[in-house]
Structure 1
Amino acid sequence: MIKLKLHTGILLFLLTLLTACGSDEPYSKGSDYRELPNFEKSNTPQVVLFFSASCPHCYKFDSVFEKWVEKKPEGVVVERIPVNFGHDSWTLLQKAYATLRTLNIQDEMSLKMFEAVQDKNYWLGDAKAVASWLAIHGYDVSTTEKAYSSEQAKELLKAYYAAEMRYNVRGIPRAIVNGKYEIKIKSLEGEDDTKRLQNLENIIDYLLAKDE
């Protein structure tokens, strides 16, 4: 009986070790990502990025994020949500981005919008300014002006505000996977963009596949 207890104890210890090894995950909740309380996991795989075209940190992140978007897994929805934090100038940039979204050119023009605002100091504060900027990239002026003033663009602005409030966004860039898992962007370090991109791809893939 004593031997049986000893063997059982050893077995339980080994099983504990195996369980610990099996639960060793590549990313850690708390340091690499956090699970948002009171949010349900989305039915559709998605990545949502809160940003502003005026934010230098967002610009730096988007230069890496855009490369992931170009080769993202099929079926994964990507949505960038501009925020304003109560700044009038950022609200105007929200309208400019809503125009891109209405025209369905947000992916190809997102990084160019950062460049226009932060590198070239373009003012994108009304329909004419946005249309003139997009004309440089080959888009029709009249079509852009209509999109800027469209009901769809207005509805997008309402949706952006609602999302900012719902997720209580206080800092950007902020990336949320499947509506529930927030990437700790500061953890995505690397000596160059290639390494940072690899880190970003890996953690997004991990969170997209994560079960609750």
Structure 2
Amino acid sequence: MISKRLFLQQAGGMAAAALSLPSWAQGAPVEGKHYKRLQVAQPISNEKGEVLEFFWYGCPACFRFDPTLNQWLTRKPAQVSFRRSPAIIHGASKAHQRLFFTLQALGLSESLHVQVFAAVQADQEGMGELKGMQAGLSKLGVDAAKFAQFYQSFSVQTRCSQADTLIRSYLGDAYTVPSLAVNGRYITSPSMAGGDAQAVAVVDYLLTLPR
């Protein structure tokens, strides 16, 4: 778990998850312990259900959580939308945020997500600068010149600013990653839920609550 302050479908799956979490009272997550309710509900883009992940490519806890989250994505309810939002933890994470939105602008953020995550974890310093990103991404088949063009664009800067506003609206100025927001009303995380698998099980539960 990385703290900004410190430098900063389905029922069967839910039932199985609940069985693995005996600490949950009566088989259900506890509000205030395993998740929290936002004081002010945030607008969502999909009334049938929405999950947001706030993360940072350089966060070891986010990297550990990613396989569990990706597995959940293969079984999430089809009507529920999901999106990732890169968080600013410190100076280096600003470059990684721009990296994410550049790949998104190129239509590559999902197809290269796992590989890019691993590349940043392996070389955060190198992947914290444009030239290093170009070199690393070229190995993954990304056009280096086109990447630089988008990386320096106003549209990518705008997406970064919007992401900063989004995470503050959900988590305030002092937050941890990875964190998950559900339906604009609830927040959970592996640290709150008691583990990576528990966190996605809490998400499953929260998706069943009235919106």
Cα distance in 1, alignment partners of residues 61 and 40 from structure 2:
28
1:37 — aligned with what? 39
1:96 aligned onto 2:99: yes
Which of residues 8, 28, 40 in structure 1 aligns to 2:30? 28
Which of residues 65, 68, 86 in structure 2 aligns to 1:64? 68
1:164 — aligned with what? 167
1:178 — aligned with what? 183
Aligned residue for 2:141, secondary structure, equals coil
Question: Is the 8 Å Cα contact of residues 116 and 122 (structure 1) preserved in structure 2?
Answer: no
Question: Is the 8 Å Cα contact of residues 99 and 144 (structure 1) preserved in structure 2?
Answer: yes
Question: Is the 8 Å Cα contact of residues 92 and 125 (structure 1) preserved in structure 2?
Answer: yes
Which of residues 112, 129, 133 in structure 2 aligns to 1:130? 133
TM-score (norm 2): 0.74
1:4 — aligned with what? none
RMSD of aligned residue pairs (Cα, Å): 2.4
TM-score (norm 1): 0.73
Structure 1, unaligned runs of 5 or more:
1-23, 191-195
- Between Structure 1 and Structure 2, how many residues are aligned? 182
Question: Is the 8 Å Cα contact of residues 98 and 153 (structure 1) preserved in structure 2?
Answer: yes
Residue deviations 1:7-34 (CA, integer Å, cap 9, x gap): xxxxxxxxxxxxxxxxx66222122211
* Higher percent of residues as helix: 1
* Sequence identity (%): 24
Cα distance in 2, alignment partners of residues 162 and 125 from structure 1:
22
Q: Which amino acid aligns with 2:183?
A: N
1:52 aligned onto 2:56: yes
Question: Is the 8 Å Cα contact of residues 46 and 177 (structure 1) preserved in structure 2?
Answer: yes
Structure 2, unaligned runs of 5 or more:
1-25
Residue deviations 1:149-188 (CA, integer Å, cap 9, x gap): 2332111111111123222152111111111111242254
Cα distance in 2, alignment partners of residues 70 and 105 from structure 1:
19
1:147 aligned onto 2:150: yes
Cα distance in 2, alignment partners of residues 184 and 208 from structure 1:
15
Q: Which one has the largest radius of gyration?
A: 1
- Spell out structure 1 runs of 4+ moving beyond 4 A: 187-190
Aligned residue for 1:49, secondary structure, equals strand
Quote the offset at 1:203 in angstroms. Answer: 2.6
2:209 — aligned with what? 210
Cα distance in 1, alignment partners of residues 186 and 148 from structure 2:
37
Quote the offset at 1:42 in angstroms. Answer: 3.1
